[in-house]
Chain A
């Protein structure tokens, strides 16, 4: 119950952030690139969150940055889920050498410190927002694969899978119609946690200058811009930092909440 409250809180925060991101052009008091004051000015009625070193409104940049950060997180997670679910399902369903080779590939991917892998790939590609989404997705599917494989190993033992085979279902039908829907709980949890991770990775990449490129704003590159002004204009770093933290926490709360509510029911219905 306590966790559910946290999950609902997280859901509410995410809904608000999503709304703010979608309606950024309507809500934002300034254009994100507009120079509306001379140099960094502290929060005031004209600039609720202050302005950055170039005199751009931090609130407006944060709102537009939310669009970038949230969509990078969402798209990266969708890519990771598709890859991870497919790999995990195939490994768990077929077992044997198929399972062995897929899971060894997962181990190898896990063994790379992913941030270096991402940096290396990003260095070869033009650093734009689509490549960021793609690269984060490509380097974060392994956890999902392990999770889905585990679920498939469990579900494969259940009699309804044998029953499906007995009535003549093919492999694809068994995997997608009979097994995947029964594995969706952990996948939803992985999605929310994965999105939090993807948003953090995007921030880190942009912070290192390898992610979303200026003048486009994301929470990560706003943080990067603020580095030199940490003492003189703390609002420049505090605002995007807080936004990242609150978003990641909200997603974690949602993930935990889903996990809590799903697990007893799953146990009841599953085996």
Chain B
């Protein structure tokens, strides 16, 4: 679905993403791990064309409008929702911008999306600060789905949440993927969280992609010393 070749992005002296080549297959969940500062989030922003690469290219297959069909769920639901915009309006915004539905149909669609992420429909009238962290993250997911995205980048979607709520949100993501036929790029610094959803796992270190393989192969017999260290640092699952 997305083919990345020799992608490089520099910030001054720092090479945030260094010659990364990677393919994300339709319907899979690709886990992307690495410490903070390893270039995971930069790679995500490059894929979404929020920033431009210095060199290399990204090919999108079966995706027309990136802004509509590729979406992102951010790490911190506290900051990724505008404090002055009601939940319902936030979810409706992608629909409005891309003119996907007539005005009269928007409310029903918002209600359906809230239901999809298992939030009560009355939440549409609330402001983000009236919701808990887990609920806000569900709003973030609903917004990402509003424009009928096919590909979702989950940028540490649960790392700001309590463990119990993490499990709920991960379950929801798994269920939505099956129901809507989505493709995920799941970014985390924690291998135990990634193991739950991913089909394949990629490991980044200092901007480079150092390991890529099936989940089991990477988790059970990692080739790289660095991956072994990451594994040892993660809580057991």
Question: With A and B bound together, what is the CA distance between A165 and B74 in angstroms?
Answer: 13
The contact of B129 among A165, A178, A269, by CB within 8 Å, is: A269
Residues of chain B contacted by A271 (CB below 8 angstroms): 79
Q: Which of A255-270 contact B (CB under 8 A)?
A: 268-270
A169 and B79 contact, CB distance less than 8 A: no
User: Given contacts A162-B50, A271-B79, is CB(A181)–CB(B67) below 8 Å?
Assistant: no
Residues of chain B contacted by A162 (CB below 8 angstroms): 50, 74, 80
- A164 vs chain B, min Cβ distance (A): 7
Residues of chain A contacted by B65 (CB below 8 angstroms): 168
Q: Which of B55-95 contact A (CB under 8 A)?
A: 65, 67-68, 71-72, 74, 76, 79-85, 93-94
Question: With A and B bound together, what is the CA distance between A212 and B85 in angstroms?
Answer: 44
The closest CB in chain B to the CB of A173 belongs to B97
B67 and A160 contact, CB distance less than 8 A: no
Q: Is A159 an interface residue (CB 8 A)?
A: yes
Residues of chain A contacted by B79 (CB below 8 angstroms): 158-160, 271
The contact of A168 among B67, B74, B76, B85, by CB within 8 Å, is: B67
A160 and B97 contact, CB distance less than 8 A: no
B interface footprint on A153-167 (CB within 8 Å = 1, 0 otherwise) = 000001110111111
B82 and A164 contact, CB distance less than 8 A: yes
B68 and A168 contact, CB distance less than 8 A: yes
A182 and B94 contact, CB distance less than 8 A: no
Question: With A and B bound together, what is the CA distance between A268 and B129 in angstroms?
Answer: 9
The contact of A167 among B71, B85, B129, by CB within 8 Å, is: B71
The closest CB in chain B to the CB of A166 belongs to B72
Question: With A and B bound together, what is the CA distance between A168 and B67 in angstroms?
Answer: 5
- B108 vs chain A, min Cβ distance (A): 20
A interface footprint on B88-130 (CB within 8 Å = 1, 0 otherwise) = 0000011001100000000000000000000000000000010
Residues of chain B contacted by A177 (CB below 8 angstroms): 85
Residues of chain B contacted by A165 (CB below 8 angstroms): 50
- B165 vs chain A, min Cβ distance (A): 19
Residues of chain A contacted by B81 (CB below 8 angstroms): 160, 163
User: Given contacts A178-B82, A182-B82, A270-B83, is CB(A166)–CB(B48) below 8 Å?
Assistant: yes
User: Given contacts A159-B76, A269-B129, is CB(A166)–CB(B67) below 8 Å?
Assistant: yes
- A16 vs chain B, min Cβ distance (A): 32
- B12 vs chain A, min Cβ distance (A): 16
A163 and B74 contact, CB distance less than 8 A: yes
The chain B residues found within 8 Å of chain A, CB to CB, are: 48, 50, 65, 67-68, 71-72, 74, 76, 79-85, 93-94, 97-98, 129, 140, 143, 146-147
**A–B complex contacts, Cβ < 8 Å, 5 sampled:** A159-B79, A160-B82, A163-B81, A269-B84, A270-B83
The chain A residues found within 8 Å of chain B, CB to CB, are: 158-160, 162-169, 173, 177-178, 181-182, 268-271
